[in-house]
Chains A and B, each alone.
Chain A
Amino acid sequence: MAQPKISVDLILSKLAEEAEKAGESAQKASDVLLEPLETDIAVTPYDVVYEEDRVKLKHYKPTVDVQLKRPLLVVYALINRETMLDLQPGRSVVQNFLQDGIDVYMIDWGYPARKDKYLTIDDHVNGYMDNIVNFILDKHNLDKIHLMGICMGGTFCVIYSALHPEKIKTLVTTVTPTNFDTDQGLLHIWMRDMDTDHIVDTYGNIPGDIMNLGFLLLNPARLMIDKYVGFIENMANKKFVENFVRMEKWIFDSPDVPGETFRQFIRDCYQKNLLIQSKMEVGGKRVDLKKITMPLLNYYGKYDHLVPPEACELLTSRVGSKDVEDICLDTGHIGIYVSSKCQREFAPRIARWLKERDEDKKKHKTKKTTRKKRAPKKTPKKATSSLKRKKDT
């Protein structure tokens, strides 16, 4: 008797086996979901030391002796919340910084209300940020602090450092878009023709849910289907479920973005690409990147589909500083902060870099680029390779 082309019996027996496993897993999943779960996020203790309108300044309680003379101010984006840097114990950038002896401050932008729709980038950078920096400088009796920005918060930090270089000792930018003229990221393509004025005039503030929907549409196959298939498959694993719920809590905690800030960010950055050309104006002053003369460490993710490498890597070549470094990690937009692999490398490396530059003694004259494995090319191209890779979060 001839061997059949397809081993149907094997496929069917495998299917029966999987069905049995699924039944067992569903039973366990029900137990897991019904018992108490630890899904709190942002549990690292802190004090709110400064408040202005909706904006708060968090000061984290040191866990070891502070080893740096100058504190580090972390500025998160206006999109989503800063809680991402402190998702859970053992997976927290903030906790890692504290363990490395860094005195950490972080801005909590809060939830903009309708009354905040008139707030511009100038109000955020030269208003809230500058007041906070002054507060920290006064509190510690210092002339300069370390500044670190995340995503759009990084863009704010770049603007701030160019406008107030005298107050910044070092600048760390992570997944920070500064060059918006790229086809690598879908956001860059979509924003190009967006009628921002109409949207802002209609909604006032840009609803967080609409933006979240936009982010989900960047990769619906992975973010709307595969992610939840993965969840169903691992529902019997309590740790997995807890981590998954924490991440969901963070992702869908989306404050609205003040309308005027959104308008200027899209128009001047995404549509006119003024920042990288040192042509952007904030508060009536030109943001000249050459005025960024402090050491600059620029982190970005090779597989970042929101802020692709092309959007980040030009910055180091446009600033006035000689001490600059690009680090491209084999990860995506969020993975840089939450993946266990990056956790081991990201925060400790920043801590080392800051320690080396905290005092005024050493002079660093480095202009280097560190890339993990193969780094993307610097020359802008119509490449779409990064878009085809899955989100690693």
Chain B
Amino acid sequence: MDDNKKNRIGPETFFSDWMKISMKFWESTASMWSGFNTTGESKPDSAQDEKTSRIQRSWESTQKTLKAWSQVVSEPETIEALFEGAGIFPDFFLKIVQTGLNRFVHLQQQWLQRAGKVQESTKSYTFENIDEDTIKVWTKLYETELRKIFNIPQLGLTRFYQEKMIRSVDKFNLFQSSLTEFLRMLSLPMEKSLQILQEKLTEMADKGNLPEDSKSYYQMWIKILEGHYMTLFQSSEYTKTLNKTLHSMSEFSEAKKELLQDTLLYMLPVPTQKEMDELYKEIYLLKKRIKELEKR
């Protein structure tokens, strides 16, 4: 039985040989390294020497551990035990893979549900007015679904910095979407006025009373444009969009300021705006108090 085992070239033998070769490789590398260090041309000073010997000692220690571990592992008994136990590996693997797969499928389902919600939230928009609706759909999509990603709690030592950075990106996205909506609104009178001008010109051409000089066309257009702007500016939609844009711009400015102030500027030897504001307030209150006292 033992002879059979010895003569057999199975995975155990292969593994054992491979371990031995690897061990020899690392052994020779280690000796080369120590040889290199001891045959240096110039003799290093004592501090350098100590540093080198520390590195060398650490390297040798790693080598020893590796050698000992390799020896143990390459013993035929260990390898045999290892391979005998390998029969139960597929069960482990199956369990791990199954759990992972289940989690993955579950996560995917969650994401699909979220995507479904996106569809739900945008169902009312029919994309008839593609430019207007695209902005609205994107804003809603961002605000209700995509934004959640930015709210995932940050972990670890750099959590604070990550939070500031992510907040700033989030506020920038919100500002961009409200600004786009605001600019779209501002472009509406321009678009409509040109449309109306064309209709007017067609009508005038039909009647045969088109103006002869180009300035009349301009005057006609600018009057229509002005009228459209006035109508837009008095609408509650405009005021709402304007306030939303101003609000998101302030939020973004604040987030940007926090990012710069609390993370970047904080590391520099200069006072932050927050610190200066505190100082200004103190000066302001002191001055006011002095003036009151002087008046008495």
Contact = CB atoms under 8 A, between A and B. Distances in A.
B280 A118 contact: yes
Contacts of B250: 195, 198-199, 201-203
B277 A114 contact: yes
Nearest to A387: B230
A115 B284 contact: yes
Interface stretch (A40-48, A219-227, A246-254, A349-357): A219-227
Contacts of A203: 250, 253
Interface stretch (B3-11, B138-146, B206-214): B206-214
B17 interface: no
A226 B219 CA distance: 9
Interface in B231-263: 233-234, 239-240, 242-243, 246-247, 250-251, 253-254, 257
A314 interface: no
Given A14-B212, A115-B284, A118-B284, A221 B234 contact: no
Given A190-B242, A195-B247, A198-B247, A384 B230 contact: yes
Contacts of A115: 280, 283-284
12 contacts: A5-B208, A7-B212, A14-B214, A115-B280, A123-B288, A193-B243, A198-B251, A217-B186, A219-B230, A221-B229, A225-B225, A384-B234
Interface residues of B, number: 40
A114 B212 contact: no
A219 B229 contact: yes
Interface in A99-152: 114-115, 117-119, 123, 127
B50 interface: no
A218 B186 CA distance: 12
A190 B226 contact: no
Contacts of A18: 213-215
Given A189-B233, A221-B189, A387-B233, 14 more contacts: A6-B205, A14-B214, A18-B214, A115-B284, A118-B281, A195-B243, A198-B250, A199-B246, A202-B250, A202-B253, A202-B257, A221-B226, A225-B225, A226-B222
Which 4 A/B pairs are nearest by Cβ-Cβ distance?
Answer: A5-B208, A221-B226, A202-B250, A115-B280
Interface in A183-231: 183, 186, 189-190, 192-195, 198-199, 201-204, 217-222, 225-226, 229
B227 interface: yes
B208 A114 contact: no
A388 interface: yes
A138 B36 CA distance: 93
B218 interface: yes
A217 B186 CA distance: 9
A34 interface: no
B268 interface: no
Nearest to A229: B218
Nearest to A131: B291
A207 B250 CA distance: 12
A387 B233 CA distance: 10
Contacts of B213: 14, 18
